[in-house]
Amino acid sequence: MKSLICLSILSLSIASSGMLKAQEYPSKPIHIVIPFAPGGGADVLMRPLSKKLNEILGQPIILDSKPGANGNIGAQFTSKANPDGYTLLVGNSSIPISVSLYRNLGYDPLKDLTMISLITMAPSTLVTNPSYPVKTVSDLIKLAKENPGKINYGSAGSGSTPHLGMEMLGLATGTKFTHIPYKGSGPAVTALLGGEVDVLITNTSTIMSQVQSKRLNPVAVTSLQRSPIMPNIPTISETVPNFEVKTWYGLFGPANLPKEIVNKLNAAIAEAIRSPEIKEQLIRSGYEPETTSPEGFNQLMKDDVVAWGKVVKASGVQID
């Protein structure tokens, strides 16, 4: 009986300690890893959001750039961090893609990361340089069939959503494109502007300013519905039935992040996204703000691992 009482006291002590830590959290700056090159969608998203989170949490939010390997360098770094809530990660749908894409990934996203909250869906757009002789999806398909393998497309890196999005388009239309990977969506957009590549699927947020200034031509969006900020631009699915490429951004932490801290961060993200100035700014940048519970985000990850696994297998793309 005495040992049972001692065990109960110990359990209560551990639980109380965890609650106390959560109440004190955060007591110092929070580092959020951005695992992509500067100028990409994560940058556009986190610049306004980090300022709002600073207000809500009362501590500075420091954005740490750790690009490389389609976001996996930053993700792996975060997975090995101390699970105290001071090292977090903003990742996107390239994380579940990587599970089946890489033979030796070096970490297991479903086991080595804690899913905190979805932040936003990030619709993508198929864009070309205005001088390129493609104005519609039908134009692109026709040109690709007449010139198999001669149309170059850029991406944010091998295995990124833009890469597999173009592979999906090729599979769906019986066409072949040539992939040229870059170290992030920012450099890929720069390559398109400079005529190094012919076409690109990328986050709408990444190319909004170039579309508005008519430096890039938006051919079609990859969502099933037209974008509310570009209602005159058709969807790819209007030409290629049921074609859809979904991209999202979410907040992760290392595995074993205390539940109380996860819940506090989840609530902070939801509060930030609900604020009218952040919501309006994200929508204007091409995002669709959307949050989830930690459990909902975890289920999204699991579903995407399965769905993207099928695409990777069908495309035959594999990275060592």
Please tell me whether residues 267 and 292 are part of one structural domain. yes
Overall number of domains in the chain: 2
Please tell me whether residues 135 and 205 are part of one structural domain. yes
Give CA–CA dist 92/35, Å, rounded. 9
Q: Please tell me the pTM assigned to this model.
A: 0.82
Please tell me whether residues 93 and 41 are part of one structural domain. yes
Residue 71 C-beta-side C-alpha neighbours within 13 Å: 25
Which pLDDT belongs to residue 7? 52
- pLDDT averaged per 10 residues in sequence order, the chain, 320 residues: 52 50 86 89 90 96 91 94 98 92 91 97 90 95 95 89 91 94 88 95 88 94 89 95 92 98 98 94 86 96 92 84
216 belongs to a structural domain: yes
Which pLDDT belongs to residue 208? 87
Give CA–CA dist 269/294, Å, rounded. 11
Domain of 308, CATH number, reads: 3.40.190.150
Please tell me whether residues 276 and 222 are part of one structural domain. no
Which pLDDT belongs to residue 5? 54
Give Cα separations from 284 to 228, 274, 296 (angstroms). Answer: 10, 15, 26
Give CA–CA dist 25/27, Å, rounded. 5
Can you tell me whether residue 261 is helix, strand or coil?
Answer: helix
Instruction: From 33, 43, 96, select the one nearest 65 (Cα to Cα).
Output: 33
Please tell me whether residues 207 and 102 are part of one structural domain. no
Instruction: From 177, 189, 184, select the one nearest 156 (Cα to Cα).
Output: 184
Instruction: State the residue range of the domain holding 214.
Output: 124-238
Which pLDDT belongs to residue 10? 52
- 313: tokens are 């297998």
285 belongs to a structural domain: yes
24 belongs to a structural domain: no
Please tell me whether residues 145 and 213 are part of one structural domain. yes
- 259: tokens are 């539940």
In contact, 163 and 177? CB cutoff 8 Å: no
Instruction: From 47, 117, 118, 121, select the one nearest 261 (Cα to Cα).
Output: 117
Edge-to-edge, what's the strand order for the sheet holding 124-128?
A: 178-181, 152-155, 199-203, 124-128, 217-221
Write the DSSP assignment of 146-185 as a string of letters: HSTT--EEEESSTTSHHHHHHHHHHHHHT---EEEE-SSH
> What are φ and ψ of residue 17, in 5° steps?
-65, -40
23 belongs to a structural domain: no
Please tell me whether residues 117 and 252 are part of one structural domain. yes
Which pLDDT belongs to residue 126? 96
